[in-house]
Structures are given as C-alpha cells and as structure tokens.
Amino acid sequence: IAMARQMASSAATLEELREQLAAFDGCNLKFTAKNLVFADGNPAAPIMFVGEAPGREEDLEGVPFIGRSGQLLDRMFAAIGLDRTSVYIANTIPWRPPGNRTPTPLEAEICRPFFERQIELANPRLLVALGGPAAKALTNATEGILRLRGNWKAHLTTSGIQIPVMPTLHPAYLLRNPAQKRFAWRDFVNVKIRLRALTD
Ligand code: URA
C-alpha cells in the first residue's frame, strides 16, 4: 500500500497514472486479468462516472462499461444528452476480479491510491457513483445504495477538494430489476440539472 501511494502520487498526468498502474505488481487481480481497464471517455469532461470493477467484456477489451451494463449506461447517458465524448468513466478497481467475484477489502485498499489520484487528476466538477461499492468508496457512507441514491453527497479528494457525488443504481442492477429504472431516471435528471447549472 505504501508503494501504491508512492506510485500514484508520483503520476503527474492521467497518462502517467495509467503507466504506473501498468507497472504496479502489488495487486493480485492484475495477474488473473487480461487487461488493465483504466478509463474511457473524455478526461476533460466536467462529469465522471464510477463503477466498481470491470467484468468479462471490459477485461477482454481494456475498456470500462462495454458489456450489457455499459450498453444500458450509454442509453442512460443519451437520455440526458451525454455520450462518451462528454463524460469520463472509470472504476474503483482497474482489473477484473476472477469470475466477477467481489473485490476483497485488501484489493480495494491497494487500488485506492490510484483511484483517488485518478479523480484528482481528472478533476471533475461532478461525480456519479454507479452502485453501492462505488458510492461507498466515494462517500464513505454506510447506508445501502437504495437509501443513498438520489441524494447529493460530497467526495473529499486527497488534496482536500470537495466534489459533489450523486449515488445511483448500477446498470447491472437495473438489468435485473427493470422496474427500478424510474429511480435511476430521476437521479440522472437531477445530475443533468446540476451539470447544466455548472456549464451554462
Ligand atoms: N460493471 C462495472 O462496475 N464496471 C464496468 O466497467 C463494467 C461493469
């Protein structure tokens, strides 16, 4: 973890951070994953979406949210006038856990300095946490996502800047529970309004 901190903080750009992650051997997930899944979209975008960890398709291509969940996420972006040129997308953990198992607390802790640095360097004006694990990582909140969703929280960056975070339901959850899409829709409209207020 000390090494992760040192490597993450030494990266001055997102490109350097990606290189540092590619060179980092301290997380066992790297050795079962096919690819590093660092980010997609526009790092200069005012809004950053965060998932938990890559799945099978993401691991094969090295790009976050390109499987079934990602296709739904793209439609959710489109519904509020966004696409992958106007958002930045990453995960709390950049390697696929074997068989999509939940990352262990140790794995999450080891990857955390890189994830924190990624937010700091992308410096988005707004964050959207997709699902409980991302919401927990960004806000330290302990309630479940069904309670957290829809309410703005703050993410405190390593450098002490507060970034508003909207926790919402994960697209994979929405695929399993389509009746819940109405809640995600509300959250996305809320995000759109706040984003407009920032960029108008
Ligand atoms: N689910 C996630 O949380 N992240 C991805 O990149 C893909 C699916």
Residue ranges per domain, the chain?
A: 2-199
Tens-digit pLDDT profile for residues 28-84: 999 999 999 999 999 999 999 999 999 999 999 999 999 999 999 999 999 999 999
d(CA 101, CA 174): 19
Give the sign of the dihedral formed by CA 132, CA 134, CA 135, CA 140: positive
Please classify residue 182 by burial: count the beta carbons closer than 10 Å to its beta carbon, then call 0-12 exposed, 13-18 middle and 19+ buried. Answer: exposed
Is the dihedral angle over the CA atoms 70, 175, 163, 55 positive or is it negative?
A: negative
Tokens describing residue 160: 């002490």
Q: State whether the beta carbon of 107 lies less than 6 angstroms from ligand 1.
A: no
Is the beta carbon of 65 within 6 A of some atom in ligand 1?
yes
Distance 52 CA to ligand 1 centre (A): 6
CA torsion 71-133-24-99 (nearest 10°) is: -60
Q: Which atom of ligand 1 is nearest to the CA of 89?
A: 6
Q: Does the structure's ipTM exceed the value 0.85? A: yes
Contact 163, 119 (CB under 8 A): yes
For ligand 1, whether the C-beta of 52 sits within 6 Å is yes
What is the rounded distance in angstroms from the CA atom of residue 5 to the CA atom of residue 36?
18
How far is ligand 1, taken at its centre, from the CA of residue 81, in Å?
A: 21
Candidate of 35, 40, 56, 58 to mutate for ligand 1, largest count of ligand atoms within 8 Å of Cβ: 58
Q: pLDDT by residue (tens digit) across 158-182?
A: 999 999 999 999 999 999 999 999 9
Residue 86 pLDDT > 90: yes
Q: Which fold has domain 2-199?
A: Uracil-DNA Glycosylase, subunit E (3.40.470)
Cα 62 to averaged position of ligand 1 atoms, centre (Å): 11
